[in-house]
Amino acid sequence: MPATIVQTNSQPFAPAEIDPVTLDIIENALRNARVEMDATLVRTAMSPGIREQGDAFPLIADHNGKMIVGQFGSFIGGFLKQFDGTLEDGDMIFLSDPYSCEGAVSHSNDWLILLPVFKSGRLIAYTAMFGHQSDIGGKVVGSMPINARSIFEEGVRIPPVKIWRKGEYNEDLIKLVMHQTRKPDWCQADLNALIAACRVAARRVVEMADRFGDDVYVSATQELLARNHRAMKQLIAMAVAEEPVSFEDYICDDGMGYGPYKIKCTMWRDGDKVVLDFQGTDPQSSASINFYLNENMFKMFFGIYMIMVFDPQILFNDGFYDLIDVRIPAGSLLKPHFPAALSGRTHALGRIFDILGGLLGQKTPEFLNAAGFSSSPHLFYSGNDHRPGKGGEWFQLFQIGFGGIPGRPMGDGPDGHSLWPGFTNVPNEFLERYFPLMIERYETDPDSGGAGLHRGGNGIHMTYRFLSPGTISIHDDRWFVPPWGVNGGAPGKRARKILERADGSHCVIGNKVEDISVAVDDQLHFITWGGGGWGDPLARDPSLVGLEVLQGLVTVAGARAYGVVASEDGEIDAAATEALRHHMRSTRAPLSLFDYGPGVEALRSACEAETGLPAPIQPAWPELEAAQ
Amino acid sequence: MGYRLGVDVGGTFTDLLLFDDASGAFWRHKTPSTPQDSSEGIVTGLDAICAQAGIAASDISYLLHGTTVATNAVLEGKGARVGLVTTEGHRHIMQIARSYVPGGLAAWIVWPKPVPLAALEDTVTVKGRISAAGEEVRPLDETDVRQALGALKERGVEAITISLINAYANGDHESRIGTLAREIMPGVPVSLSHEILPEMQEYERTLTTVANAAVRPVVGKYIASLRNRLAERGMAGKLSLLRSDGGLMSSAKAEEHPVNILMSGPAGGVTGALWVAKHSGFSNILTLDVGGTSTDVALIENLEPRRARTTDVGHLSVRASSLDVKTVGAGGGSIAYVPELTRALRVGPQSAGAVPGPVAYGKGGSAPTVTDANVVLGYLPENLLGGSFQLDRESAAKAVQTIADALGIDLMSAARGIIDIVNENMFGALRMISVQQGYDPRHFALMGFGGAGPLHVNAVARLMGSWPAISPVSPGVLCALGDATTRMRTETARSFSRLAQDTDARDLVSMLSDMATQIRAELESDGLNADEIDTEFEIDVRYAGQAFEVPLTTPLDTLERDGIEGLLSRFDAEHLRLFTFNMETPHEIVNLRAVALGPVLNLPAAELPHGDGNPAAAKIRDHRLWMDGEERSAIIYDRSKLKQGDIIPGPAIVIEMDSTTLIENGCVARVDAFGNILIYLA
């Protein structure tokens, strides 16, 4: 049963004429209100994931629940369809269960606040925001157990409930929720922050409606949606062919020894509409790498990619949703059946963007980017601080790392930068001040970016020295299937993790591991993947390769991938370079549009030798019900 | 008492304003800037303005100066070649920065990869480590340091920056490396991060220190050259520079900490606007400073300009306080063109600058500019008294005709199109600082200055709904007026980072007092008397675990009286107001800041004589101009002959030495007591 919206004023909004300047002012004011939501959140949140790194997503929607400003598109339609209750003035919804909102949030760590905004008895807007909680209880610190078999192991699960009901705060509910987490102080602060952000935006919406009139405000939101619809319609007709194109890529493993998992998407245009069909994607995993993908969210990803790739001037909102048809097979990795575990969904979420890039650029190689939006590497470190004077105080760190940005039509991919919007790294001095850590190394990993006319960005080599015993967990991907290069560019290097014990011994550890004990003075080398290269590496200016040798971004050995012979201090041997390039040109295979590396079977057989880890075993799906 | 000379060096012109402290009378002068060495233009102007006022250069007690020399060094990459010394394992600190890619999802596709301010090939690392608690974990390896510095010397770096991990907690290693650097590379300036910015966060501290080092030689050389030239003229008065935050600092301090003058130029306009706003009785002002190549806009609410903790230059955000000024590439010299592909009319950001300048200036410019369009439309009349530049209208028309031909429209429509587009660009910048910051522009007056501000202010006010449009007295040299009339300022900050419950108010008071002593001494060493220095204190408080703090200003005696409790209750109230909730979490005292301010100058503003409301006595002649789709009759007035209370119906043009005010059709202007022209809708 869908939600019942209770309004004390049943008069519908009347359409109003909007002059372009008013429209412009309202759009800008809404954008600013969104920025204010972000600012309110980071100023008051406490978990480092939100306050330092910005892992949170705001949204302001119209009275029908369509996103006017925001990032990931609106889930409100889906929520309303499923919510069996009323929405009234003074209500505020709180939820975290992906299965209760069609995947609006994709794991239980994301807490979402939805505030219906009423004005003079009528629902005029929604504001909403969700943010990643550092801990929501469950079997592991950080609440993202890679080996979970069901969502019940992943901490507290909140169905849509009213945290405020007609203006009355439900204190018992919050007591119950906070009782489930290891970090009630962070969770309480972050929840307050989400609520404050939604309230700030609601206040701005009401002010705007006061200023321009309710009818003008609502009509303006409708015109903003229509404007976007018109622009996208044109763009789709121009950029998407009727003939289907497909693209597939892999999640390396599930952390349980199985992999890789295939994600496949086929795209074609049917009249005005684009169809995006995930038929051919592997079935769901019995571990937690499943990604419950919300169709509307994927429409937004698609729209934003189209805009960024083909015409960055277009402003985006939900207006174009009916131009896109997303089909995701039930029971697949992207639409698992309840109660499949979901906490490790970050890898598939990242991979979706590589797939989109590959799909959209296939027919227009000049717009094609290489791969690299590959994961969101996580590190968890927790324990009791046994340093003198710390009194055994409990600490837990959840940190998000970054890889390399892919080679792009416009040039090299930046080294060690974020592909996620608004994210920043945590200052190392902050880590050292508030955690028993010393960061011995924070540099880019030379040669990790794929060779190309435009080099892929290098990944990061970060070395943590632990100053107190504790446990660590790691979530990363792209350690087995490399990020592909395009237009002749080479793939980027793969991720790896090495534990260097205090006694000097080294051991390679997996990229999805739980609960590894570390001792004082153990060091973890957390090395992320590089972005794929773009264009023919032999066409890159040798002096630029030489400079990058001097800068420590490329090694002397790595320079040979560009056919460049250089000394340690970056001097180029012009004759040797010429000869090497000639030799490489005459012996190599013709350049292909995509360079995926040697292919899954070859990767498997060389896995142990190349990565130090056993090859993942091809998953089979007779025991799908294992998750039940 | 004596004379104060304000000097603002812009991209196109150097503006001077000589102020008589006793009477409030002033003289102004404009001379072309000399970009190869701007001190040359300054002394040319100095000679001229002294002659005008009938004084000698030695009569000037203060020379107060806003300059873009540091800004341009950063923007054009013409700063010194900086060698960066950092901690082993952190060589790529400037390359990785904060890993932040601006824009939304997928914005990385179109984001240009930035080049670090200290080149990576000139970045070296040294062994040795300080912990977050400020303890030495590993000693500095001096052999290694010498080798690293030797490598930088060989590479020919012109300045050294030393920025080590955790140096904010203990700067000993940095200081030692600094000593070795001076020994190995005598004469090469050295900047240490713990001295420039003793705050946590290695990237921001390093960037700020590098920026300081990059501009230091440029600024030092410039100030030395200016001092020499002034000395040759017998000018023995004090030389001060305008800081990005609108205060003044001595030239000696500016040489050491040029990172504080990165936005010196634009700050002058805002302080000048403040001076005018105070006297004309408007407390909410949007500023529109239209120069030859760009336009700066800022917002003043209740006579307080918005300040920012950072200074943004190009894509870099440096940790130094500044006035919040936004810049767009739209000015009098902006070039109009019609791209082949779209056949759309575009204006700027390319500019004809000072050389070759607009076509109408007859200095070799051939591309049509905004100024040329203004000339063609009759908004900038040619051949007038007082104008030191002759305008060549015929050549301007020829240039604008190329635009008209490309668009297939007539000359006047093309000229008006150029003006409409450039006004729209200025409107966009103003929207960013008003509407987008939650301010309603209709509650603000719009003040247009700089050479071309008064030409555009009426039209832009119409777009914004910001009335009146103000053409301040001497709009062409308002920045120089701001330089001349603002107060000395300096500040210092320290990381504190302790829980409030473990802090005694007396400790805070004693630390803040120390800081006050330090910055007051700075101002005293610049020649101020102890009793004319004001001190203000700020304490940043947050709930422990939050990333952002709320700054609370407090006098020391209040802090002593009310203790930490008083401070925390103010914090709770402010947190509730800002964010709608309070928490049980303990409070953390994060940073302490002290600001020392020189005396507020009670400089008099000269009043105009009263008139009878009729400006006829100031009329120069009748005129024809193009507006609202047709040629119209207008009257040209001489600003120097206007009296207070004069009412001028539009369309009209008011001329003065260095600026032209356009009053549009359908508007009416009134001259206030101090000679400001206030334009309203008729």
Q: What are the DSSP calls for B309-378, one per residue? A: SSEEETTEEESS-EE--EEES-STTEEEE--TTT---EEEEEE-TTTT--GGGTSS--S-BHHHHHHHHT
Place of tokens 């000379």: B5
In angstroms, the separation between the Cα of residue B114 and the nearest Cα of chain A is 8
How far away is chain B from the Cα of A441, in angstroms, using its nearest Cα?
4
b/e sequence A38-75, b meaning 16+ C-beta within 10 Å: bebbbbbbbbbbbbbbbbbbbbbbbbbbbbbbbbbbbb
CA distances to A211, A215, B578 from A219, in Å: 14, 6, 30
- Calculate mean pLDDT across residues B424-445: 82
Task: Classify the C-alpha dihedral A421-A422-A428-A430 as positive or negative.
Answer: negative
Alpha carbon distance A441, A523 (integer Å): 10
Identify whether the C-beta of residue B188 lies closer than 8 Å to the C-beta of residue B157: yes
Give me the residue from B92, B106, B545 closest to A304, CB to CB.
B106
With CA atoms as reference, report the closest residue to B261 among B594, B517, B8: B8
Contacts of B180 (CB under 8 A, 6+ apart): B142, B145, B146, B149
Kindly give the interhelix angle for A184-212 and A20-44, rounded to the nearest 10 degrees. 160
Q: Is B577 on the interface with A (CB under 8 A)?
A: no
Q: Given pLDDT bands bounded at 50, 70 and 90, which one contains residue A341?
A: very high
**Alpha carbon distance B72, B353 (integer Å):** 14
Short-list B626, B653, B664, B633, CA closest to B410: B626
Q: Which of B109, B120, B583 sits opposite A189 (nearest CB)?
A: B583
CA–CA distance, B176 with B145 (Å, rounded to integer) = 10
Distance CA A99, CA A105 (A): 9
Please report which confidence band the pLDDT of residue B463 belongs to, taking 50, 70 and 90 as the band edges. Answer: confident
Look at the block and give the residue holding tokens 């501009």.
B215
Query: pLDDT digits over A18-45, tens only?
Result: 865 567 668 777 877 887 888 788 878 8
Chain A residues near residue B166 by CB distance under 8 angstroms: 429, 432
Q: pLDDT band for B265, please (50, 70, 90 cuts).
A: confident
CA distance B21 to B3: 6
Closest approach of chain A CAs to the CA of B579, in angstroms?
Answer: 6
Q: What is the pLDDT of residue B512?
A: 94
The 10 Å Cβ neighbour count of residue B44 is 17
Stretch A404-422: mean pLDDT: 93
* Position B545, amino acid: G
> At how many degrees (to 10) do helices A295-310 and A214-239 cross?
70
Chain position carrying tokens 């928490």:
B583
- Tell me: pLDDT of B663 over 90: yes
With beta carbons less than 8 A apart as the criterion, state whether A410 and A394 touch. no
Q: Which residue of B has its CA nearest to A456?
A: B113
| Distance from the first to the final alpha carbon of chain B | 44
Residue range A246-259: mean pLDDT, rounded: 95
DSSP character for A271? Answer: T
Q: Does A412 sit within 8 Å of B113, measured CB to CB?
A: yes
Position B507, amino acid: D
Min Cα separation A207/chain B (Å)? 10
Element (H, E) at B178: helix B172-184
A591, burial (CB in 10 Å: exposed 0-12, middle 13-18, buried 19+): middle
Say if the Cβ atoms of B95 and A463 lie within 8 Å.
Answer: no
Which of A432, A440, A551 is facing B121, going by the closest CB pair? A551
pLDDT of residue A622: 61
Distance of alpha carbon B152 from alpha carbon B531, whole angstroms? 47
Q: Residue A123's Cα: distance from chain center in Å?
A: 32
Check CB contact under 8 Å for A433 and B543.
Answer: no
Q: Is A328 exposed, middle or buried (0-12, 13-18, 19+ CB in 10 A)?
A: buried
A-chain residues near B131 (CB < 8 A): 432, 438
- A304 contacts B435? CB cut-off 8 A: no
**Residue A151 one-letter amino acid:** I
Whether residue A416 and residue B99 make contact (CB cut-off 8 A), yes or no, is yes
Contact yes or no for B152/B83 (Cβ under 8 A): yes
Q: Which two tokens stand for residue B556?
A: 């020391």
Cβ contact (<8 Å) for B92 and A552?
yes
Mean pLDDT throughout B124-143? 97
> Cβ of A192 and B438 within 8 Å?
no
* A189–B585 CB contact, under 8 Å: yes
* CB-nearest partner of B435 from A29, A45, A439: A29
Collect all residues of chain A within an 8 Å Cβ-Cβ radius of residue B108: 405, 408, 413-414, 417, 419
What residues of B are in contact with residue A428 (Cβ under 8 Å)? 90, 165, 202
CA–CA min distance B92, chain A (Å): 5
Mean pLDDT to the nearest integer, B664-679: 96
Interface probe for B, chosen from A32, A42, A127, A428 (most Cβ of B below 10 Å), is A428
Q: How far is A368 from chain B (nearest CA, A)?
A: 10
Size of interface A-B (CB pairs under 8 A): 192
What does the radius of gyration of chain A's CA atoms come to, in whole angstroms? 25
Per-residue pLDDT for B664 more than 60? yes
A contacts of B95 (beta carbons < 8 Å): 415-416, 444, 551, 553
* Strands across the sheet containing A245-251: A245-251, A261-270, A273-277, A324-327
Q: Are B262 and B421 in contact (CB under 8 A)?
A: no
Structure tokens at B456: 């555009």
Q: What is the pLDDT of residue A560?
A: 97
CA-based nearest residue in chain B for residue A401: B99
Q: What is the mean pLDDT of residues A254-267?
A: 96
Cβ neighbours for B189, distance < 8 A, ≥ 6 positions apart: B80, B159, B160, B213, B216, B217, B220
Q: Determine contact: B129 vs chain A, CB below 8 A.
A: yes
Given an 8 Å threshold on Cβ–Cβ distance, is B92 in contact with A550? no
List of chain B residues whose C-beta atoms are within 8 Å of the C-beta of residue A46? 543, 545-546, 585
Q: How far is B200 from chain A (nearest CA, A)?
A: 7
Comparing B371 with B103, the larger pLDDT belongs to B371
Q: Is B455 exposed, middle or buried (0-12, 13-18, 19+ CB in 10 A)?
A: buried
- What are the pLDDT digits (tens) for B60-119? 999 999 988 888 888 877 889 999 999 999 999 999 999 999 877 888 988 988 889 999
- pLDDT cut 70: percent of chain B above it: 97
pLDDT surpassing 90 at residue B210: yes
The alpha carbon of residue B134 is apart from the nearest alpha carbon of chain A, in Å, by 10
B111 touches chain A (CB under 8 A): yes
User: Do B579 and A44 make contact, defined as CB atoms within 8 angstroms?
Assistant: yes
Residue B646's nearest CA partner among B606, B682, B681, B678 is: B678
Are the C-beta atoms of residues A489 and A370 closer than 8 Å to each other?
yes
**A77 falls in which pLDDT band (50, 70, 90)?**
confident
